[in-house]
């Protein structure tokens, strides 16, 4: 079965990207994303690039691939840099499995499972079905291979009887069974409650988070939350940095309350969070400044350790997004006394 899936995905990509297919632009649409970044930090100059491409044939058939390994440490020899490799190839179709039934999404090849960053971020080769609608409920499931003698399988169930309530549970079976339950409640426009509980069956490790956000004024939001994450919580398919490495979904060992607030006005955003369990205050202030008809974002961020009355982290910087798509940033870390700079370009096509 694994050889069949690899053959199918390779064959589809060869056909879709062949000159014959490209010669018929009316029947083929290409979508893709290319992102590259060069960064200087801690006296290291590094580069990283990501590429993904999808080909849409008609309305219901899609094929794609992504490339990783485009990493470069410029302090080393060029020939010893990262190895370019095809990370995923996949074929995806949308439509009913049987005539008269509802439409579903089926994918074969490199999967894009993102049920939960706590237990279920899976990109291995396999097959998945999703968006199976049963009234207020939706279903999804997958079966994949993680190595020659290891399989991973899972499923999710989502339930939303009304717009103000969303509940989703998921299960992943690999080296052990992982469970995940998430809920989001918005009883009013100014109030939002979220919660998650994830656990590892054999190791009996778990993560629990509860958060509340209240928009008390148009410019002011107040937050409160609770964390109970065991020291060794580390699911095989969990990814705390799934979207943003600066704001991880969970940190093992956290247990206790936190409070925070966000203040927004035109050209100014101030955000602060105080974590009672480690007596730390994290803050970030962004001010948009106009100079000679050009807008720059001045950013100040840091962590203040209340128990020792000292700064654990303090950085200042300036960010600029150029009309040609370049993102430029320069900064300075006052703790380690090191400058930093980055140039980033992202192109969607």
One DSSP character per residue, 50-103 reads EEEEEEEETTTEEEEEEEEEEEEETTS-GGGSPPPEEEEEEEEEEEESSTTSPE
Distance CA 167, CA 160 (A): 6
Residue 241 lies in a domain: no
For Cα atoms 159, 165, 168, give the angle at the middle one, nearest 5 degrees: 35
Residue 340 maps to a domain? yes
Query: What are the pLDDT tens digits along the chain (349 aa)?
Result: 444 444 444 444 444 444 434 444 446 677 788 888 888 888 788 877 777 877 777 667 888 877 765 665 665 544 334 455 566 788 889 888 778 778 899 999 999 999 999 999 999 999 999 999 988 999 999 999 988 788 999 999 999 999 999 999 999 999 999 999 999 999 999 999 999 999 998 878 999 999 999 999 999 999 999 999 999 999 999 999 988 888 899 999 999 999 999 999 999 999 999 999 999 999 999 999 988 788 999 999 999 999 898 999 999 999 999 888 899 999 999 999 999 999 998 887 7
pLDDT of res. 128: 95
294 burial type by CB count under 10 A (0-12 exposed, 13-18 middle, 19+ buried): exposed
- 209 secondary structure, DSSP code: E
Predicted confidence at residue 278, as pLDDT, reads 93
Give the pLDDT of residue 13: 46
How confident is the model at residue 292, as a pLDDT? 78
What does DSSP say about strands 137-145 and 125-134: parallel, antiparallel, or unpaired? Answer: antiparallel
Looking at residue 42, what is its pLDDT? 81
Flag whether 300 is in a domain.
yes
- Asked if residue 234 is part of any domain, the answer here is no
The answer to whether residue 259 sits within a structural domain is: no
309 located within any domain = yes
pLDDT value of position 236:
93
List the domain range (segments joined by +) for residue 345. 286-349
Q: Please count the structural domains in the chain.
A: 1
Q: Has residue 102 been placed in a domain? A: no
- Could you give the count of Cα atoms lying within 13 Å of 17 in the half-sphere of its Cβ? 13
Report if residue 177 sits inside a domain: no
pLDDT of residue 84: 54
Q: Which two tokens stand for residue 337?
A: 């006394």
């Amino acid at each position: 079965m694994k050889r069949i899936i690899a053959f199918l995905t390779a064959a589809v990509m060869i056909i879709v990207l062949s000159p014959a297919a490209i010669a018929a632009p009316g029947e083929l649409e290409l979508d893709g994303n290319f992102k590259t970044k060069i960064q200087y930090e801690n006296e290291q100059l590094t580069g990283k690039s990501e590429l993904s491409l999808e080909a849409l044939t008609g309305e219901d058939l899609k094929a794609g691939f992504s490339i990783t390994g485009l990493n470069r440490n410029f302090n080393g020899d060029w020939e010893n840099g990262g190895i370019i490799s095809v990370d995923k190839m996949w074929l995806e179709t949308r439509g009913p499995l049987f005539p008269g039934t509802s439409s579903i999404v089926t994918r074969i090849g490199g999967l894009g499972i993102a049920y939960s960053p706590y237990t279920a971020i899976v990109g291995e080769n396999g097959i998945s079905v999703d968006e199976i609608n049963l009234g207020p409920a939706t279903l999804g499931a997958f079966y994949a291979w993680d190595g020659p003698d290891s399989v991973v399988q899972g499923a999710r169930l989502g339930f939303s009887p009304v717009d103000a309530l969303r509940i989703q549970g998921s299960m992943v079976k690999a080296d052990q069974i992982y469970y995940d339950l998430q809920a989001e409640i918005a009883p009013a426009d100014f109030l939002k409650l979220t919660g998650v509980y994830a656990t590892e069956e054999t190791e009996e490790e778990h993560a629990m988070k509860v958060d509340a956000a209240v928009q008390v004024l148009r410019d002011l939001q107040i937050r409160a939350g609770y964390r109970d994450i065991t020291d060794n919580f580390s699911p095989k398919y969990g990814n705390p940095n799934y979207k943003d490495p600066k704001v991880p979904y969970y940190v093992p060992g956290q247990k206790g309350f936190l409070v925070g607030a966000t203040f927004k006005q035109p050209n100014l955003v101030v955000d602060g969070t105080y974590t009672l369990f480690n007596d730390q205050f994290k803050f970030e202030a962004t001010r948009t400044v106009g100079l000679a008809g050009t807008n720059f974002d001045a950013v100040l961020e840091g962590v203040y350790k209340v128990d020792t009355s000292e700064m654990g982290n303090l950085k200042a910087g300036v960010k600029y997004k150029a009309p040609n798509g370049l993102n430029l940033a320069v900064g300075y870390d006052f703790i380690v006394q090191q400058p930093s700079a980055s140039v980033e370009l992202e192109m969607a096509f």
